Amino acid sequence: MAKKYASDPRQKLFLEYYISPKSDTFSNALQSGLRAGYSQEYSENILQEDLQWLSESLGNNKRLEKAEKVLDDTLELPAIDEEGKVDNALLKTKTDVAKFYAKGLGKDKYSERTEVTAANGKDLIPQERQEEIDQALKEII
């Protein structure tokens, strides 16, 4: 059976509000539900419902927290033993973890990706403006 993750916009909003410590409604299901656009009654009972998307998403969030702890713990391991020898395998692992963190958390600073679209995947130049530019170029040529 395929897993059903949050795909409805309200589901995504609810999760964003409910699990994000930066949210005003963090850890408050009622307020997160209302803010996401659910009814008062649904919001009051959202955690008691048998919602596969919610349980899957919350489970994924817990697994992500555990994974992040493992990554943090790995970065703290000393790559040099008591005799002063470098453990090359551990050093490589630590380097890979650091790169993983840099690509994810520091993507604005370390990303190698180049965007060719505007925010949210929209065209850099609106279609109607592009048509004007294309027409002007044809006139010049």
Structural tokens at position 90 = 């551990």
- Compute CA 72 distance to the chain's CA centroid, rounded to the nearest angstrom: 18
Query: pLDDT tens digits, residue range 111-128?
Result: 666 656 666 667 766 777
pLDDT the model gives residue 24:
92
- Residues of the chain with confidence (pLDDT) below 70: 1-7, 50, 105-121, 124-125, 141
pLDDT the model gives residue 1:
34
Three-class SS state of 1: coil
pLDDT the model gives residue 4:
45
| Cβ count near 136 (within 10 Å) | 10
Burial, 105: exposed, middle or buried (Cβ in 10 Å; 0-12, 13-18, 19+)? exposed
According to DSSP, the residues that pair with 86 across neighbouring strands are 80
Three-class SS state of 80: strand
Hey, where are the domains in the chain?
1-62, 77-110
pLDDT the model gives residue 82:
80
Kindly report the pTM of this predicted structure: 0.43
